[in-house]
Amino acid sequence: MIVVNAKKIAGLVGIALVLFFVIAQPGNAANLVGNIVDFLRESAEAVITFVSNVFTS
């Protein structure tokens, strides 16, 4: 009997879905990555602004 690790299977399925999305719709995948990067950049800038305001007040 083979014991299957559900977490490992879920990870492999997730990777397969990402690869399928990138191959099937590369333009949309690139836009999605760009949106995620923009969100992370804006979030980091907001945190930096907050910390700067806390220590300069």
Residue 52 covered by a domain: yes
Residue 48: pLDDT band (50, 70, 90) is very high
Residue 49 covered by a domain: yes
Give dist(CA 40, CA 34) in Å, integer: 10
Place of tokens 């990067």: 37
Q: Is the Cβ–Cβ distance between 21 and 29 less than 8 Å?
A: yes
Residue 23 covered by a domain: yes
Residue 12 covered by a domain: yes
pLDDT at 33: 93
Q: At what angle do helices 6-24 and 26-56 cross, to 10 degrees?
A: 110
Residue 24 covered by a domain: yes
pLDDT at 1: 58
Q: Residue 50: is its pLDDT beyond 70? A: yes
Give dist(CA 6, CA 54) in Å, integer: 45
Q: The domain containing residue 40 runs over which residues?
A: 6-56
How many H-runs (helices) and E-runs (strands) does the chain carry? 2, 0
Residue 1 covered by a domain: no
Residue 28 covered by a domain: yes
In the chain, the number of structural domains is 1
